[in-house]
Amino acid sequence: MASQKTKQWSVVAMSTIAFTVCFMVWMMFAVIGIPIKNALELNETQFGLLVAMPVLTGSLIRLPLGMLTDKFGGRIVFVILMASTIVPIYFISYGTEFWHFLVTGLFVGVAGGSFTVGIAYCARWFPKNQQGLAMGIFGAGNSGAAVTKLVAPSLVLAYGWQYVPQVYAAVMLGTVILFWLFTFDDPAHKAGAKVTVAEQLAALKDPRVWKYSQYYSIVFGGYVALSLWMTKYYVAEYGFDIKDAAFLAACFSLPGGVLRALGGYFSDKFGAHKVTWWVLWFSWICLFILSYPQTDLVVQTVSGPQNFHIGLNVWVFTALMFGMGIAWAIGKASVFKYISDDYPHNIGVISGIVGLAGGLGGFLLPIMFGALVDWTGVRSSCFMLMYGVVWVSLIWMYWTEVRNMDTMSGKHQLVA
């Protein structure tokens, strides 16, 4: 009979592996979407819709999955969810028309809902002072985005893009079997009849939930969107082939996933607010620099016109993306530390709402990226958009948290 500690870490380890595989599947179109775009002669907006379609389903399903996890427990919900994606993943390889990929993408996108299930499943195995670390370790499964960028291009170049979904379907089947063998149930984690649907949905009236959703739409929604967009960005902006472009794009995706556990540790140690505040400010600075387009400037001088080029070379660009990936990994964990602190008894439904909002950001942003490029012709417009989104969160956090803390600090000084 396994000890409680063994069960805890077995659940976290296997859930993290399963989430990594689910995220690999969720981000699959970031790589295979490029040859599909070329074959179908899609414009930028259509490409954005193609890569974002799985994110739509994975986002919308998060709230009901969170409710089901609260009611029935994470293990059984996780298994059924993963098993339901195997056939749709395989069918992608037979697509020949744009609508084929949109429809199969919707079904495959269910894999993205695994986050809400796993985060609640893992958190409930640990005491409050360790939940940030446990959720951070699980959230490192976001690195599945980087795994896809490192593995899928080689499969595409060697066997064609159709081979990727076939391999991924087999990997998902193996993951379902292993997950069932190495995870456990705990009846105490099931809310059952104690919590009604109306009580769960009442959380939508809480303004804090909407604020945390806004934060998460950046650190997770932005992460998903840029993970989907960056491979093609490197191809179009810097002229790399798909393999090298995907490798460089992984410099953002990999730290954005793996270091989430570090964010959980920092959040446990310093608090969710302080960590999230600095993550947003760092993101604001990076996005400001990334927003500047490649510019040729002619200055009239006394000796005649002088030409100057202003723009980020590929190494500076990649370094900024790497730094922002680290910041967002930490931020993803700190947002969920808010949730575990404020909503210990219905983590599933709250994480479902916040995860839904973040996922919708990941769905809408790539489409908006493509539309902006089609409209303006400026590729860095995607970073301009993200810069504005971060501004909204910083202002919201200042008025609801920072300003209140300053006010309370002033009151305490007066009392003293």
- Decide if 341 contacts 271 (C-beta within 8 A): no
Q: Is 182 exposed, middle or buried (0-12, 13-18, 19+ CB in 10 A)?
A: middle
Per-residue pLDDT of the chain (416 residues; tens, 9 = 90+): 567 788 888 999 999 999 999 999 988 998 999 999 999 999 999 999 999 999 889 888 887 888 788 788 889 999 999 999 999 999 999 999 999 999 999 999 999 889 889 988 888 888 877 777 787 788 788 788 889 988 999 999 899 999 999 999 999 999 999 999 999 887 766 655 455 556 656 777 788 888 888 899 899 889 889 988 999 999 999 999 989 999 999 888 888 777 877 887 888 888 888 899 999 999 999 999 999 998 888 999 888 899 988 889 999 999 999 999 999 989 988 888 888 787 776 676 787 788 788 888 888 999 999 999 999 999 999 999 999 999 998 998 888 877 766 554 544 443 44
The confidence score (pLDDT) of residue 100 equals 95
- Per the listing, tokens 């489409």 go with 367
156 contact partners, CB below 8 Å, separation of at least 6: 31, 32, 35, 163, 164, 242
**Residue 377: burial class (beta carbons within 10 Å; 0-12, 13-18, 19+):** exposed
Q: What is the pLDDT of residue 54?
A: 92
CATH number of the CATH domain containing 49: 1.20.1250.20
Tell me which residue range forms the domain holding 246: 4-415
Cα–Cα separations (whole angstroms), residue 93 to 23, 162, 227, 246, 297: 18, 4, 22, 20, 47
pLDDT for the residue 132:
75
Summarised one tens digit per residue, pLDDT across range 330-358 is 998 888 888 878 777 667 678 778 878 88
| Per-residue pLDDT at 271 | 84
- Two structure tokens written together for 101: 């990929």
Per the structure, the count of domains in the chain is 1
State the pLDDT at residue 415: 41
Phi then psi for residue 285, to 5 deg, are: -65, -45
Q: What is the per-residue DSSP string for 341-361?
A: HH-TT-HHHHHHHHHHHHHHH
Give the integer Cα–Cα distance in Å for 214 and 222.
Answer: 11
The confidence score (pLDDT) of residue 385 equals: 95
CA-based Rg of the chain, rounded to a whole angstrom? Answer: 22
